[in-house]
Amino acid sequence: MRVAILSRNANLYSTKRLVEACEKRGHTADVIDALKCTLVMEKNNPSIIYKGHVLPHYDAVIPRIGASVTFYGSAVVRQFEMQKVFSAVESQALIRSRDKLRSLQILSRAGLDLPKTVFTNYSRDTDSILKGVGGAPVIIKLLEGTQGLGVVLAENEKAAASVIEAFHGLKARVIVQEFVKEAGGADVRVFVVDGKVVGAMKRQAKEGEFRSNLHRGGTSSIIKLTRKEQAAAILAVKKLGLSVAGVDLLQSKRGPLILEVNSSPGLEGIEKATGIDIAEKIVEFLEANTKAPKKRIQKDKINA
């Protein structure tokens, strides 16, 4: 099987692990920077030019598309799909998951529990916004924020009103969510592949910090999920049309609350916390959905 891994940096942990997993199972993996691809569309012959050459046929593609390049990255994935290449993450599911507001609406409609969330069209009625989530403290998030950036904890109504007004004054769209105190500055990352939970870890924010992101100093540990947590994570991924995803949830008094579903989740934290070879699970998923023989190795690798 020949696999294209769409990544802007071949030295990233997740990218290297996916290459290793492919090669371990007898496949060839080429790392391709999606932003350096030129898309050619013509009747019955869509193609991709990369570094001056037309890319050969691939059996599967693994998108590792950053949030800041979603538009072009998803177009590249779509071009591969037009060539009948199986994608670990479908282009439309990628776009859907990156729209925080839309994804929350989809999850809410599916009956999944979420932190109470309010979104307005730059409303100055901060009293109504805060009332909608049960009052301060609240979490204020930029719709375009990632990896904990653009996320603010406002501990009282005055501070919340000031932050909301400041963002709105800059024409920056935000969502306001209830602060789940009993979570204790921790969340749970659940990794789902092909409708199954393949790993889970609990992330704890460092002292004085409410964001549990590992690259912000948080720590991780393996966790055994409850049946409700497993079911919520699997349903969230299914409703967004994803096959490979990381689901972030909070443990609350009323059960698991879905925070976000990430279509390009990092592998480093989850693999080191659980000891599970998540990269290999992804490659096994590709094998099950392509007709390429497992041991066929292409020698004409792309100089990516």
Give Cα separations from 162 to 127, 152, 154, 156, 169 (angstroms): 12, 12, 9, 10, 10
Q: How far apart are CA 247 and CA 114, in angstroms?
A: 12
- pLDDT at residue 216 is higher than 60: no
Q: How far apart are CA 129 and CA 123, in angstroms?
A: 8
User: 40 - beta bridge partners?
Assistant: 47
User: Which residue bears the tokens 């998923």?
Assistant: 285
Q: For the residues 167-189, what does the mean pLDDT come to?
A: 91
Query: What are the phi and psi torsion angles at 22 (to 5°)?
Result: -65, -50
Find out whether 263 and 93 touch, Cβ atoms under 8 Å: yes
Q: Where are the beta strands (DSSP E) in the chain?
A: 2-6, 28-32, 37-40, 47-50, 53-54, 60-63, 86-87, 117-118, 138-142, 151-154, 174-178, 186-193, 196-204, 219-222, 244-252, 255-262
- pLDDT at residue 293 is higher than 60: no
pTM beyond 0.75: the answer is yes
What pLDDT does residue 304 have?
A: 46
What is the average pLDDT value for the chain, to the nearest integer?
90
Chain CA centroid to CA 43, Å: 33
What pLDDT does residue 297 have?
A: 42
Find out whether 95 and 70 touch, Cβ atoms under 8 Å: yes
Find out whether 114 and 108 touch, Cβ atoms under 8 Å: yes
Percent of the chain exceeding pLDDT 70 equals 90
How large is the greatest C-alpha to C-alpha distance in the chain, in angstroms?
64
Nearest to 104 by CA among 253, 259, 262: 259
Write the pLDDT tens digit of every residue in 144-161: 755 557 788 999 999 999
Write the pLDDT tens digit of every residue in 241-275: 999 999 999 999 999 999 999 999 999 999 999 99
* Domains along the sequence of the chain with CATH: 2-89 (3.40.50.20), 117-179 (3.30.1490.20), 182-263 (3.30.470.20)
Q: Where are the beta strands (DSSP E) in 90-181?
A: 117-118, 138-142, 151-154, 174-178
Write the pLDDT tens digit of every residue in 67-95: 889 999 999 999 999 999 999 999 999 99
What pLDDT does residue 143 have?
A: 83
Give Cα separations from 284 to 156, 190, 277, 288, 294 (angstroms): 49, 18, 11, 6, 10
When comparing pLDDT for 220 and 290, which is higher? 290
When comparing pLDDT for 206 and 150, which is higher? 150
Write the pLDDT tens digit of every residue in 221-231: 999 999 999 99
